[in-house]
Structure 1
């Protein structure tokens, strides 16, 4: 990132910086692509993806950001961010490698404006506080491991109990998975279409919901006709 871009980004108002931090986070749900600009790999996105993000319920819940109620307002807001060089309009060219699936080459366009169908390259990495916290946590864990022989006996005993508890929970989970599979195979034979114990055990739900209901028939849900 050039010093000029960094200087411009420092001039951005707080509310616009909050918008940029949101767009650069996973909460925005934007489709991020990887291109090649000046021989370096760089993230970029399509304009309509950013418009969709600032019109999403996740954005509406944010504080200290400009309100957006229409696509026109979203486009105006995103256009107002361009002068601060967090992202710039680019032209997408041919693949950078011999394969058609290689990252596309990007070229910055002199005329900067925000349009839904155009592409924009990121010149901002987003908030780095999670990286710093993770680095500090990693150092603390490593130091704690190295100094384990110096820990008081009560701490060592607590860690051993905690380790046994975690291993016990993992063992219980695998035992449940094996038992439910055996039970399902038996019920498929004697009571087709079969019964699953804890049918949501591996579903993308919360911890408690993974054990609700306790059992259910293995009946495929049919999608309604449109």
Structure 2
């Protein structure tokens, strides 16, 4: 009787997941935070989530401790039952079999059957409500950015300060990572704080793992470490022996940051030009009238010069004629 009851339970759970809607509920649970851990990779230049088939079967049969299994979904009584449901997900193309081609890269496979030793990417996207809301928020944010000139002054100042602060934080983070690496690299170790921070093949959370990595430097770098060490300690010696110059350097950096926050780095540009930097360059009516008057005055001046030159020429001609007449009379 016990065996018959177990078989009935197994058949009941399998018949439950034969319904596509119930299978979608299971997929929504697997893609939630309670599901198995997933990794990110690139498949045909598209970022996807994937996991190994064995890991999926193990989670369906024996979920990890603390997992809150939905009460509306029946539990799996055996691994074979979980494998049957995984095959059904492959058949409906909720998951797609692929193969590893390198670090963070996957490739397509002709064999689409489920196998515990294979890797599978999630094709099923689940409920699109959150995705649609995020798309709408992106469109609204784009229009808000386009209408930046219409924002109230306090909001524009806040966004400016926030952007400058974020930029300075990124530069400070990159500079501190490089400085920490340089100090430790001189003594023979490669120490990186957040080593995967700029790895484009990793997801957001994986970019912050591990926090610190430390390895010995490769052989053959000793001369370079000596040269960099001499240059570094020479700079430190200069900063100690020339405090006035170093203080001036620090003061200049502080003034630069103040000008950056105040938006006065381009001090040679007038305030009117800054406000009208995006406006088309069109002359006002007053400027046009001034240009017209100046052009008329220029024409009159030129005509006056021509008339004066003509009078001078006529005077010279008269003088020449008078001299000729005087010469004739004397003869």
- 1:48-67 → structure 2 map (5 Å cutoff): 48-54=54-60, 55-57=62-64, 60-64=67-71, 66=73
Tell me: CA distance 1:158–1:58, structure 2 relative to 1, closer, same or farther (3 Å): farther
Higher helix share: 2
Tell me: CA distance 1:130–1:28, structure 2 relative to 1, closer, same or farther (3 Å): farther
- Note if contact 1:46-1:119 (Cα within 8 Å) is conserved in structure 2: yes
* 1:159 to partner: Cα distance: 0.3
Q: Which residue of 1 aligns with 2:313?
A: none
- Cα deviation digits, residues 73-121 of structure 1 (max 9, x gap): x543564688xx755289xxxxxxxxxx97444689xxxxx98689999
Q: State the distance in 2 between where 1:119 and 1:183 align.
A: 42
Q: Does 1:166 align with 2:162?
A: no
Q: State the distance in 2 between where 1:45 and 1:181 align.
A: 34
Alignment match of 1:88 (pick from 82, 88, 91)? 91
Q: State the distance in 2 between where 1:118 and 1:202 align.
A: 30
* 1:48 to partner: Cα distance: 4.1
- Note if contact 1:47-1:115 (Cα within 8 Å) is conserved in structure 2: yes
Which structure is higher in RCO with an 8 Å CA cutoff and minimum separation 6? Answer: 1
- 1:16-95 → structure 2 map (5 Å cutoff): 16-23=23-30, 27-29=35-37, 48-54=54-60, 55-57=62-64, 60-64=67-71, 66=73, 68=75, 72=78, 74-76=79-81, 79=84, 87-88=90-91
* 1:148 to partner: Cα distance: 0.9
* 1:171 to partner: Cα distance: 1.3
Q: Which residue of 2 aligns with 1:181?
A: 181
Q: State the distance in 2 between where 1:210 and 1:117 align.
A: 31
- Cα deviation digits, residues 23-44 of structure 1 (max 9, x gap): 4568434699xxxxxxxxxx99
Which structure 2 residue ranges, 5 or more long, are not aligned? 1-16, 41-48, 94-105, 197-204, 217-331
- Note if contact 1:18-1:65 (Cα within 8 Å) is conserved in structure 2: no
* 1:126 to partner: Cα distance: 2.3
Q: Does 1:12 align with 2:21?
A: yes
Which structure 1 residue ranges, 5 or more long, are not aligned? 1-7, 33-42, 91-100, 109-113, 221-226
Q: Does 1:202 align with 2:209?
A: no
SS at match of 2:184: helix
Higher strand share: 1
Coordinate RMSD, CA, aligned: 5.1
Q: State the distance in 2 between where 1:9 and 1:137 align.
A: 37
Q: State the distance in 2 between where 1:147 and 1:19 align.
A: 44
* 1:57 to partner: Cα distance: 1.9
Q: State the distance in 2 between where 1:44 and 1:21 align.
A: 15
Number of residues paired by the alignment? 172
- Note if contact 2:177-2:193 (Cα within 8 Å) is conserved in structure 1: no
Which one has a bigger Cα radius of gyration? 2
